[in-house]
Structure 1
């Protein structure tokens, strides 16, 4: 896999506060990579640096073999889709998509705008105003506006966070379709693991301005290597082992009602198809799920439980 976007020793800071330190990352041509993590982990800061919206304190950024570290955004051949869409309310859909092309004086404007409309399935909406579109349609206009500029890399900053659950699912599938059809390299910033798992070729999980783990969605979800990674993808019971690492269980892997351990129910919640419990025990806090059809436990009730070793994930480190 050859590098198409390369970040080498990238250090980014706001004043005296370092947000990202000595980060190294390679992205292949045509790959969809998600920068995933909680607020403040450095994912949006990293994206802003790739876009040219902030200057690194140290390190190098290259795109398609060209050092762009000190180049302005207009010379990087990078497209950016914002969380807020940033459409011009006084312009039609057509003119919103054409805006950047007109600014550059590009040839073949009409054909490119029409291709952009077709790519995102908005051929019939060219004359509409943004206010007459749904949130998902507005997001598609923003996507088309970037695509018609033919960027080498498309950056998407939390693009689905303003949509309701159904529209998020629809737009997730739309983004995946567009990316596969165009073959464009995409960097997708999100705090939502379900979005990253569904969309990505690879996920870059970030924590505290550094990369915690890089892998395919299957690797990140099923084989986290640190306590932070495990907790982030739903392994909510994490216990240290004798080797300095740890073991992690998903709530559904904990067996309630039988086993060598005992605890007290300190939290309970009905969650549709399952019931969720927090068990206080000598081992620590245990998070467990049972089918909703199972006999419900009550607060303060004593319960036996087991942590099957064959359903645990081994962690290299807990920090």
Structure 2
């Protein structure tokens, strides 16, 4: 894989507080990378550095073979889409998309704006004001505004977090379509594992300013390397294996109603197609799911359970 974007030994700090330290990351041209992790892990800080919104205290940033570490944002050929849309309320959709092109006195402005609106499916909304659009439509305008500038890299900072669940799904699919059609290199920042799994070619899971694990969505989902990675990606029962590592089960992998172990139901919740349970047991806290149609268990009820080894993920370390 050739490096289209390369972060070499990147260290980023806010005053004396180091947010990212010694980060190395290579991104291929046309790849969609997701920076995933909890608040404070360094994902948005890394994105801001690529955009030129903060200067590294060490390391360098290379885009398409050019060292841009000390260049201002306007010289990096990078687009940025915010979670807040950042549209100009007094301008029409057309003028919002045209704004950056006008600043650059770009040739063929009208054709580029029309193409940008067509790409995100908003041709018929060109004359509307942002206030007359839904949240999803406003986010599409923000996306078109970045795309028409023909950036080498498009950075998206939690772009779906302000949308309701249905719009989030629609925009997720829209981003996938646009990325595949345009072939643009994207860096997508999120704390939402479902978004990362659905969108990314590769996921970069971050923790405390460093990369905890990197791989395809399938690799991250099925083979977490640590207790932190397993917990973040949805393995809710994690037990030591006696050899310094651990075993992790998703709730649906735990078998209730039979098995060699015994637990007591401490909590229960109806979750649509399934029921969720929390069990207290000599092994520790166990989280399990059953189909919603199964006979419900009551709080305080004793229940047998099994943790099949073949359905567990092996963790190299528990921390």
TM-score (norm. length: structure 1): 0.98
Q: Does 1:115 align with 2:129?
A: no
Q: Which moved more, 1:110-119 or 1:149-158?
A: 110-119
Q: Could you tell me how far 1:65 is from its partner in structure 2?
A: 0.8
Supply the distance in 1 between the matched residues of 2:289 and 2:130 (Cα, whole angstroms). Answer: 44
Q: Could you tell me how far 1:141 is from its partner in structure 2?
A: 0.6
Q: CA RMSD in A?
A: 0.9
Supply the distance in 2 between the matched residues of 1:186 and 1:215 (Cα, whole angstroms). Answer: 16
Q: Could you tell me how far 1:142 is from its partner in structure 2?
A: 0.5
Q: Could you tell me how far 1:272 is from its partner in structure 2?
A: 1.5
Which residue does the alignment assign to 2:185?
A: 185
Which residue does the alignment assign to 2:62?
A: 62
1:43-81 CA deviation, whole Å, 9 max, x = no partner? 100000000000111111100011111111000000000
Matches within 5 A, 1:166-181: 166-181=166-181
1:145-182 CA deviation, whole Å, 9 max, x = no partner? 00111100000001111111111111111111111111
Which residue does the alignment assign to 1:162?
A: 162
Supply the distance in 2 between the matched residues of 1:22 and 1:318 (Cα, whole angstroms). Answer: 23
Which residue does the alignment assign to 1:297?
A: 297
Supply the distance in 2 between the matched residues of 1:255 and 1:177 (Cα, whole angstroms). Answer: 39
Supply the distance in 1 between the matched residues of 2:122 and 2:129 (Cα, whole angstroms). Answer: 12
Supply the distance in 2 between the matched residues of 1:147 and 1:314 (Cα, whole angstroms). Answer: 42
Which residue does the alignment assign to 1:221?
A: 221
Runs of 4+ residues deviating >4 angstroms: none
SS of alignment partner, residue 221 of structure 1: helix
Supply the distance in 1 between the matched residues of 2:111 and 2:294 (Cα, whole angstroms). Answer: 60
TM-score (norm. length: structure 2): 0.98
Supply the distance in 1 between the matched residues of 2:255 and 2:219 (Cα, whole angstroms). Answer: 24
Unaligned runs of 5+ in 2: none
Q: Could you tell me how far 1:263 is from its partner in structure 2?
A: 1.6
Supply the distance in 1 between the matched residues of 2:181 and 2:256 (Cα, whole angstroms). Answer: 47
Q: Does 1:245 align with 2:245?
A: yes
1:74-98 CA deviation, whole Å, 9 max, x = no partner? 0000000011010001111111111
Unaligned runs of 5+ in 1: none
Q: Does 1:104 align with 2:104?
A: yes
Which residue does the alignment assign to 2:50?
A: 50
Matches within 5 A, 1:207-286: 207-286=207-286
SS of alignment partner, residue 4 of structure 2: strand
Q: Could you tell me how far 1:262 is from its partner in structure 2?
A: 1.2
Q: Does 1:149 align with 2:169?
A: no
Supply the distance in 2 between the matched residues of 1:316 and 1:246 (Cα, whole angstroms). Answer: 7
Q: Could you tell me how far 1:17 is from its partner in structure 2?
A: 0.9
Q: Could you tell me how far 1:21 is from its partner in structure 2?
A: 1.1
